Structure 1
Amino acid sequence: MKRRNLFDVLGPGLVTGAADDDPSGVGTYSQVGAQFGYSMGWTLVFGFPLLASIQSVCAQIGATTGMGIAQNLRQHYPRALLQAVVVLLLVANIINLGANLGAMAAALALLLPGPIMAYVVGFGVLCVFLEVWLSYAAYARVLKWATLSLFAYVGVVFVADVPLWQALKGMVVPSFTFDREHAMALVAIFGTTISPYLFFWQAGQEVEEQHRRHVKPLMVSPRRAGAELKRIRTDTLVGMGFSHLVALFIVVATAATLHAHGVRDIESAAQAANALRPIAGDLAFALFALGIIGTGLLAVPILAGSAAYAVSETFGWTVGLDRKPREAKAFYGMIALATMGGVALNLAAIDPMKALYWAAVVNGLLAPPLMVVTMLIAQNRKAMGRLTISRRLAIGGWLSTAVMALVAAVFLLS
């Protein structure tokens, strides 16, 4: 068998991890860095194995069953549960789409002054066009190369004056004060990092990869399981590691610039970019703003696509980015509808930070029960055959679920 290079092995996990650092995530990490400096960096180090575990579970479900999360829910659990999950996911995704499109437009307006609403519409139309009309093979390559935009945030750190020892201490020494501000920051970080749309997307992309490579689900061809599960582990670990590393760079960059100069309140990713200019110079400002646009171009199609997977699988519609538009009209229609819903939110003049707040509420409440159901599917022999997840991955998945349940409880109490 031909040996595959690392870039060929990387796919759904890398793209999913990169999409986790969307403009709304950039805004969250910027606020944490500006408000608390380096002291909350440890949460991202702690969160890495949690996210990697649950995303590996989702990827294995897709690869093993040949079906997405919603389709597995449809087959093995009450329909009312599926409908509730999909409605909440759709609401959260559309709100996130609106916030991300608004952030991208605001970032572009910083670099190229112009009408923000025109930029919002332009980004929405561009994302729908690429997702609908590009072949899956070409689109997958576009998404993988788009992950390079995240290196903009690495560049910001190198043009800022970072006290290395203080930054490393924040990453490895837990520091937490039991007050409302720290509790909300904790919820914001975990709610931004472990989001339900990532579950649906990565499982769906594993199914897409099977169609692209013309191979059967692992439960049908178990001889391939060893190599495929190894690929999934590598892809997911690298993807989620990349995601958390970039998030750390954003926290460090804003801590070294904004926090160090007394700027403690950041309400958007674009505001973070603008605030960097007088402190860290034009290059840091430009890199940060370009990073927001690049991550948005990566995240918007994934938010819309995960919503389309969930809704289409619920109703039994034909799904797949490898399908021609005429073969999956409803699926592609949902991608366009979800994206245009995000555009419409910007027309409604809804406060983007309030929109993100309510998206976090929905995501935070949706994640724990969805993770419970996902773990049950992954350990269900009727769904997975003999390829149920390993004991080590089960421990990691259930630990992730318990932490998210605790985070949701902290959110409700705070």
Structure 2
Amino acid sequence: MKKLLEISLGVVTSIGGFLEMGEMSTAAQAGAAFNVQLVWAVVLGTICVAFLVEMAGRFSAVSGHTIIDGIRDRFGIKVLAWPLVTTVLVSLLVLSAEIGGVSIALEFATGITYRWWAVPVAVASWLFLWRGTFGMLEKGVTSLGLITLCFVVAAFRLQPDWAQVAASAIPSKPHTQAATYWFMAASILGASLSPTLFLFYSSGAIEDRWDRSYVGANRAIAALGMTFGGVISAAVLVVAAQSMHAHGIESIEDFHQLPLLLIDTFGMWGFALFAASLAIASFGAAVEVALLQGYLFAQSFGWNWGQDCPPRANPGFSLAYTCALVIGAIPIAAGADPLKLTILSMALTAVNLPLMVVPFIVLMNDEHYMGEHRNGPVSNAAVLGITGLAFVLGVVTLPLQIIGGT
């Protein structure tokens, strides 16, 4: 029972992957453009990420390695270099989007344009990492992130056709705007299946000193944590379908439209709830993604790492997340549109996903690392199948969206 109380690792991981600028904006765009038709993408993404996160926790608990450690040890640094470089680059785009999410929320609260908030948000994230502990991240972000349950409340209060919502859990072809439909599906899957989630979870398991006794609890922690994120992501899509699509708003062209998600249900309190939800979820995600940069570099090059150690004991680790925050703030401070940046980064995540997932699947089937806890055929098939779908959708639809195809 005590181990199950560590569900905060699962929830904070889901907040970093589901309940942030990426998932909110992609789900909102999908609901506005296609009603509830893309609920299936949220469902598929949630199922697959639950498998991936459970596998990540099981790998760390059984082998005593993080995923990056394992790939380096099993394949060597040359093989690790490809997924490392692409994951770092895409994660930096995601980090910019999350800094943009907090900055937008602060613009809503103060009226000061978002670009002026980029540097203060990056500094606040850095101070949290520099002075905080991993436990503070787990418990703090998890507790504050519960505010995002307001989307679930809004979904029920708007009284959608739940039979239609349930039917939309099965994939279907679009009636119009096929390229945009499949691009949005790829973006939703990319937002759900970001390598950030399972790489962070793997490192978190080592931070929390998991061992083989956590294998059983890990299943519940991963399932409950990812389900929490998936339910709220689906709720955002349903709310967008009811509050935007139903009122003739079929495209979110500007982030200033996003608070409309909750205003129909909660009035002006909805504006405050949306701003608070976006700020808290995006800040938690920004801290998580920046911390992941430290994990990626430190674990790849064999440096000391650990959020609970003072920065002077882990200089390379601390420098990596510091540089990531500096780089991540630049596009937002320069005036990049956070909404467009977010949608693009989510689709690129889907394209990048196989580079990290394929070697990870090999590790999960390696008796040397996993022994009797190796993957079964169901886990392998589910992860490879949905990862392949996300990759194909991203590769096919990303060029069409860049050149303006529909």
TM-score computed with the length of structure 2 as normaliser: 0.90
The match for 1:404 is 390
Listed as ranges, the gaps of 5+ residues in structure 1 are 219-223
Could you say which residue in structure 2 is the equivalent of 1:281? 267
Residue 14 of structure 1 deviates from its aligned partner by: 1.8
Match of 1:31 in 2: 29
Question: Quick one: distance in 2 between partners of 1:412 and 1:266?
Answer: 18
Report if aligned partners of 2:351, 2:392 keep a CA contact under 8 Å in 1. no
Return the letter of the residue paired with 1:206: A
Distance change >3 Å, CA 117–CA 409, structure 1 → 2: closer
Give 2:8's aligned residue: 11
8 A contact 1:167–1:252 mirrored in 2: no
Distance 2:150 2:264 in 1: 18
- How much has 1:166 moved relative to structure 2? 5.3
Q: Which SS does the other structure have where 1:176 is aligned?
A: coil
- The answer to whether residue 99 in structure 2 is matched with residue 101 in structure 1 is yes
- Tell me how far 1:173 sits from its aligned partner: 4.7
Contact 1:312 1:318 in 2 (8 A): yes
Aligned to 1:88: 86
CA distance in structure 2 between the aligned counterparts of 1:144 and 1:279, rounded to whole angstroms: 25
Q: What is the rounded CA distance, in whole Å, between the counterparts of 1:270 and 1:293 in structure 2?
A: 14
Q: 2 CA distance for matches of 1:260 and 1:338?
A: 40
Q: Distance in 1 between matches of 2:79 and 2:119?
A: 34
Partner residue, 1:206: 205
1:334 is matched with which residue? 320
Q: Compute the displacement of 1:352 (Å).
A: 2.9
TM-score after normalising by structure 1: 0.88
Residue 348, structure 1, aligned to residue 334, structure 2? yes
User: Is residue 135 of structure 2 the alignment partner of residue 165 of structure 1?
Assistant: no
Aligned residue among 52, 55, 61 for 2:53: 55
- Which of 367, 370, 373 is residue 384 of structure 1 equivalent to? 370
Residue 193 (str. 1) matches residue 179 (str. 2): no
Q: 1:289 to 1:158 in 2, by over 3 A?
A: farther
Match of 2:359 among 373, 377, 384: 373
Indicate the SS of the match to 1:10: helix
Structure 1 residues 143-185: Cα deviation after superposition (integer angstroms, max 9, x where no partner): 32133132132243355x3333355345445432272122112
Q: Alpha carbons of 1:321 and 1:268: their partners in 2 closer, same or farther (altered >3 Å)?
A: farther
> Structure 1 residues 63 and 383, CA, compared in 2 at 3 Å: closer, same or farther?
same
Question: Within 1, Cα distance between the matches of 2:132 and 2:399?
Answer: 46
Provide the residue aligned with 2:126 in structure 1.
Answer: 128
Q: Deviation per CA, 1:74-94: give whole Å up to 9, x if none.
A: 111142221121111111111
The secondary structure found in structure 1 opposite 2:259 is helix
Deviation at residue 241 of structure 1 after TM alignment: 0.4
Residues 126 and 356 (structure 1 numbering): CA distance in 2 closer, same or farther, change over 3 Å? same
TM-align CA RMSD: 2.4
Say whether the 8 Å CA contact 1:34–1:265 is kept in structure 2: yes
**Deviation string, structure 1 residues 357-413 (Cα, Å, up to 9, x no partner):** 442343122201311111101111223344323444334333333433443444467
